[in-house]
Structure 1
């Protein structure tokens, strides 16, 4: 049983990592669209964000963690030319986003939300923070299915995600139980953002992979006959994926 669950965990982790990368890509596109709609010139918003992260040190010098992160790209073959092109950090937003890690992008989303008092964008920030946690876990090969029991989460799942789960047919009792587990919260949030924001082709492709992992979960389901937590969690994943990644064939 443990060997089977470890294999499922590994394969699910690979798919979810790709899902989180898709989410980052489409979140950047959506933020660029929003900035364009607001009439931003693409340069001043980056300058303001960088300035907001200046910190005065005890010796009087000024440090900036975002600029430090960008400077690390000087040694990377994929980013060195782009970093060198803007020695004064006067990046346009569309190139700035190519240089910052996911976590810093999320902070940028929060900054833009604050500038425009944009409640929807602020809610996006919180959901993206949840996705970031899942991405880090998958990227570091942490087990994600070794604790699926109910608990006491440090935060509540967003209303939009919970409402979408209700629409998928989950009872309030099930939602209360499953959303009390932060791992299931994060996976649900990632799948919600992915199926609602990625392109149709990307959603269809990931849907094929997610339906495969559901079949893999049920290949040896008799192993878990006496493990209600695993069985109910597999059922939860299946219902979510069936609702949000339906097959048109």
Structure 2
């Protein structure tokens, strides 16, 4: 499918790119068709054309091989960010359980009832997932009548976990949760995009992709520490990436940070494999420098 005009064959999809100025010098059309048939699909590849400029209605200095290369880089970055998101989720749960265990005011059960009353949507989502779980049926049979907080935290998804952080922070105003509370919501957007395999490296700097409000003071402070220029921080995705990396830096262990930094540096080198193709593309140059600053911050 393309542009709402009905289904096109693979040859017709390639022809539609050709008409719009995409060249096939680095990768022949026959190879491009093979890619669409066997390695990736049209939307996932063609989406990256949004990073390139048009001249007289046709894309300028854009070869199909560039789209394939960017799709590969984007996939690897999404996997990397998803690993960081899982680090953060584990660290948040660990921090919460330590605070709750050490809190003599909590019995482990009342907190669940209070959360269900304050955040019924998140609690009901958790409960429904718990009830339908393919692998947790024994636990559900044992715990569903009186759910303890450790079961809630173990099984809730990231969105509900963010709500629980906010709930517990509002109740106790614990300073160890302040950064977590300030940054989790923004980090969630990047985490969900990666989990749903959404294209990431597009729509960073356009007017429609700017925050409606200026970034929080916390994000602005982290941006300065990381080395991200102020003009980029109003981008929704840049704002969310800063939040994600700040949480990783704050809560992950030194050993884990070293491992993620090493993997991030490998990705930076991968980004430079065909850097000569993108030297004149300011959007991609800016994206590389932002990602590089984030990795070196870890």
Asked if these proteins are the same fold (TM beyond 0.5), I'd say yes
Which residue is equivalent to 2:8?
none
Deviates more, 1:10-19 or 1:44-53: 44-53
Is 1:141 paired with 2:197? yes
Aligned with 1:215 (options 246, 255, 269)? 269
Distance 1:19 1:68, change over 3 A: closer
Q: Secondary structure at the match of 1:41?
A: coil
Aligned with 2:123 (options 66, 73, 91)? 66
What TM-score, normalized by structure 2, do the two folds share? 0.70
Is 1:43 paired with 2:109? yes
Is 1:200 paired with 2:254? yes
The Cα of 1:163 is off from its aligned counterpart by: 1.9
Query: Structure 2, unaligned stretches of length 5 or more?
Result: 1-65
Aligned with 1:97 (options 147, 153, 159)? 153
The CA distance in 2 between the partners of 1:91 and 1:97, in whole Å, is 10
The Cα of 1:169 is off from its aligned counterpart by: 4.0
Q: Is the 8 A contact 1:127 1:158 kept in 2?
A: no
The CA distance in 2 between the partners of 1:217 and 1:25, in whole Å, is 29
Is 1:15 paired with 2:80? yes
The CA distance in 2 between the partners of 1:21 and 1:225, in whole Å, is 33
The CA RMSD over aligned residues, in Å, is 2.2
The Cα of 1:119 is off from its aligned counterpart by: 6.7
Aligned with 1:86 (options 143, 146, 171)? 143
Aligned with 2:237 (options 151, 162, 183)? 183
The Cα of 1:28 is off from its aligned counterpart by: 1.1
Higher Rg of the two aligned structures: 2
Q: Secondary structure at the match of 1:219?
A: coil
Which residue is equivalent to 1:59?
none
Q: Is the 8 A contact 1:113 1:122 kept in 2?
A: yes
The CA distance in 2 between the partners of 1:169 and 1:178, in whole Å, is 11
Query: Structure 1, unaligned stretches of length 5 or more?
Result: 55-63
The CA distance in 2 between the partners of 1:75 and 1:169, in whole Å, is 45
The CA distance in 2 between the partners of 1:207 and 1:16, in whole Å, is 12
The CA distance in 1 between the partners of 2:118 and 2:83, in whole Å, is 32
